[in-house]
Amino acid sequence: MENQKSVREKIKSGFTLRSILALVIASAIFLPVNTFLSMISGASVANASVYIIAILFVEFSLLLGAPMTKQEIFIVYIMAGLASGGAMAGLGAGTAVFLSYIFRGYYVNSFLTRSFIDPYTHKPLTYVIPDWWAPPYGSDAYLVRSFFHWEWAIPILITTIQFGVFWIMQEMALAMISSRMFIETLPFPFADVNAQLVTTLIEREERRMRYFTLSTLAGAIYGMLVFGVPIMSIGMFNIPLQFIPIPWIDLTAGYYGVEQFMPGAAFGIATDPLTWITGFLFPLPILAYMMIGSLACWTFGNWLALTSFKDFFPLWSTEWSKGMNLSLVWQRSYLRVWAFPQVGFVLALAVLTLVTGYKTFAAVFKSTKATGTQAYELNFPSNKILLLVYLVSSGASVALFQWLVPDFPVWMSALTIPIGLVMAIVGTRARGETGQMISVPYLWQGMILLSGYPRVEPFFISPTLGGSSAPLWVEGIKTAILTETKPMDFFKAYILTVVLYHVFSFIYVSFFWAIAPIPSSQYPYTLIYWPIQVISQNVWVSRQITTNTSSLLYSFLGMTLIGAIGQIITRFTRIPFSFVGLVTGTTLVPPYPVAMFLGGLLGRYGLSRLMGKEKFDAYKSVIVAGIATGSGIVAGIAGAIVVMYKSIWILPF
C-alpha cells in the first residue's frame, strides 16, 4: 500500500495553463510556417517545432524563476508537432488540414482527372465525383477561393464527423485497450528516448547534459548538410544543392545499381541521421530480421517477380524499365506485386499474435481494471466500456458511410470493425518491439475491389478504419508514465491540440489561398506534387489496379508457416527469431532497415566499446534524443529563413 501511495504522489498533471499556452503558440506560429514551406519546397518544420518549443519554454520559465515541470514539458513535447500541423513527438510530419480540402478542389477541376474514365458510367471522372466530397466541377466556390461558400459546408461537415469524431473515439478506445495489453510487457524504445529528452531538459544532470549537448551538436552539423542546405537552396534560389542525397543513397539504378544484375530489385541506404541512430535502441536480431524481411520483398522478391514469376505478375514485367529509380520501383512494384501479399503478411502476424497471446487478451477483457502498477497509473475506464465505445463509434461510422453509399455491400463495410481492432493490436506490438509502424497502404481500396462494387463513391469516403494511430498513442502513454504524468492528460491535450490546429489551419490556409491560387507558381511544390497525387488516386478510382486474391492467400499461408516454424525452432534452440521484425521489414523499403541495422552494428561494436558497455546502455537514449534535437532545430531554422525570404514578394516594393 505504501508503494502504491508513493507512486500516486509522483504522478502529476501536465495539462496546465502553461502547457496549453505553449500549444497555442506552436499552432499559431509554426503551423503557418510549416504550411507555407510545404507548399513551396515540400519540407516541414513540424518535427523541429517539437524541440524548439520545448527548449524555449524550459529556458523562459527558468529566467522567470518559475521552472516548468517535466509533466508540463511532456505535454508540450508530445503535442507540439501535432499543433504545428504534423504528428506527435517527431513521428513524422503532415500539414494543415484545410489544405487537403483545396487539394480536393484541384482534383475535381484538374485536366488529369478529366483524362481518366469511369468504367461504370464511361464518363470522365470529373463528372462522377460526389458533391459531398467537394464542390462539383465549375462551382463558384473555386472562383471566390474561400471556404465561406455553402458548397463547402457538407464536405467539411462529413469529414469532421467521420474523422474528427468517430475516428478519434475509435483510436482513444483502442489505445487504452492496447495500453493495458502491452505497456508493461514491451519496451517501446522511442518512449524512453522521449522521456530522456524531457528529463534531461528539466533535471539537467551533469553527465546526461554532457552527452545530450555533444550529440545535439553532432546532430546539428549533420542536419545542416542533410536538411539545412537543401531546404534553403531550393526554397530561396530554386537550386537543388545537396551534399548528401535525401532521403537515401539510391543504389537501384545506374552504373552501381542492383539493376545491373538483379532487374526489378530496389536497394539503397537511408541518409536521415535518425534512421541510423534508432539502430542503437534495438537488439541486433530484431534489426537483422527487419532487414531480411525488407530485402526478401523489395530486392529479391521484385527481381523474382520480374524474372521467374513474370507470368504471375504480368503488369509488373511490362511496367518496369531499366533506369527506374528506387522511389518509382517501390511505387510500381507495390501496386503490381505487393499490395495484396502485404495484407496476407499482416494477417499472418495477427493470427499468430492472437494464438500465442490469447491468455493475455482474455485476461484483459475479463477484469474491469488493469493489474499491477497500471491499476493506479492508467486510470482508464474498464475494457468492457472501452470496447463498447469502439463498437458504437465504429458502427456509427459504418452507418454514415452506408447513408452516403447506400448500395455498397454492408458486410464489407462492417468488416472494417474487426480489422481496426486487429490492426491496433498488431500495430502496437510491432511498435513496442521494433519501433516501426505496421500499415497496409490502400487497404480500403483493396477491399472495394474485392467487393466487386462498380461505382466510384467508396473511393472518396470510407468507414473509419481504426488502429492506425493507436500504437503511437500507446507509446505516448508509455512516455507519460516514464515522466510521471497522468496518462489521461495525454488525451486531454490531444483533443485540445486537434481543435487548435483545425482553427489555425482554417485561418492560415484561407489567407494563403486568398493571396494566390493553390497550386500556382507562388507555391511551386504543389505544382509538382499534386498532379502526382491526382494520378495515383485516379489509378485506383478508374480500376486500373486489379485484384489478386490468390497472392493474398498464398502470402498469408506462407508467412504463417514461416512464423510457426520460426517460433518452434526458437523454443527448442537458442537461435533467435523475431516474427514481428520479419513482417515489419516487409512493409519497409530497404534503405531504412539497412541503415538501422548498420546503425545497430555501429552502436554495439563502435560506441559501446568506445564509451564502455554500461555507459552506452545507460545513455544511448540520451544520445538519440540529442541528435534528433540538433537535426530538428537546424531544419526548423532553415525553414523559417526560407519563409521570411519568400514572404518578401508580398511587399509592394
Position 133 scores a pLDDT of 92
48 versus 197: the higher-pLDDT residue is: 197
pLDDT tens digits for range 40-80? 656 566 666 677 777 778 888 887 778 888 888 889 888 87
Contact 108, 530 (CB under 8 A): no
Confidence of residue 88 (pLDDT cuts 50, 70, 90): very low
pLDDT tens for each residue of 526-560? 877 788 788 878 888 888 776 677 888 888 899 99
Measured distance CA(125)–CA(134) in Å, rounded: 13
- pLDDT tops 80 at residue 577: yes
Q: How many CB atoms lie within 10 A of CB 251?
A: 19
Question: d(Cα 586, Cα 339) in Å, to the nearest integer?
Answer: 11
Distance (Å, whole) CA 599 – CA 602? 5
Task: Output the nine-digit C-alpha cell for 427.
Answer: 500495430
Higher-confidence position of 10 and 294: 294
pLDDT at residue number 169: 92
The residue that leads in pLDDT, 131 or 628, is 131
Measured between alpha carbons, how far is 393 from 176 in angstroms, rounded to an integer? Answer: 15
Q: How far is CA 285 from CA 69, 349, 582, 607, in A?
A: 38, 18, 10, 18
What the block records as the C-alpha cell of 197 is 529528452
Q: Looking at residue 377, what is its pLDDT?
A: 61
Contacts for 111-115: CB closer than 8 Å, 24+ residues apart: 112/531, 112/534, 112/535, 112/538, 113/534, 113/538
Confidence at residue 167, expressed as pLDDT on a 0 to 100 scale: 92
What does the DSSP assignment read for 235-282? Answer: HHH-----SS-SSEEE-SSSTTSGGGTSTT---EEE--HHHHHGGGGS
What's the CA gap between 380 and 475, in Å, rounded?
16
Are 70 and 199 in contact by the 8 Å Cβ rule? The answer is yes
pLDDT in tens, 479-490: 998 888 899 999
CA-angle at 13, arms to 10 and 14, nearest 5°: 115
Does residue 373 carry a pLDDT above 60? no
pTM over 0.85: no
Instruction: Tell me the C-alpha to C-alpha distance, in Å, between residue 371 and each of 5, 175, 180.
Output: 16, 17, 9
Q: Are 498 and 27 in contact (CB under 8 A)?
A: no
pLDDT at 450: 84
Measuring CA to CA, how many Å separate 56 from each of 49, 430, 444, 500? 10, 34, 42, 20
- In the block, residue with C-alpha cell 486489379: 546
What's the CA gap between 191 and 148, in Å, rounded? Answer: 42
**Residue 127: band (very low, low, confident or very high) from pLDDT cuts 50, 70, 90:** very high
Q: Which residue has the cell 509502424?
A: 437
What Cα–Cα distance (Å) separates residue 506 from each residue in 33, 102, 218, 495, 499? 14, 11, 38, 17, 11
Strands 248-250 vs 268-270: parallel, antiparallel or unpaired: antiparallel
Mean per-residue pLDDT for 326-335? 85
Q: How far apart are CA 287 and CA 629, in angstroms?
A: 24
Determine the pLDDT at residue 653. 40
Of 22-36, 332-346, 374-388, which range is least confident? Answer: 374-388
Over residues 386-402, the mean pLDDT reads 94
Tell me if 390 sits within 8 A of 174, measured CB to CB: yes
Span of 81-95, 155-169, 282-296, 421-435 with lowest mean pLDDT: 81-95
Query: Is the confidence at residue 351, as pLDDT, over 90?
Result: no
Q: Helix count (H) and strand count (E) of the chain?
A: 33, 2
pLDDT in tens, 617-644: 777 877 887 887 787 777 767 766 766 6
Q: Is the peptide bond before 458 cis (omega within 30 degrees of 0)?
A: no
d(Cα 81, Cα 46) in Å, to the nearest integer? 5
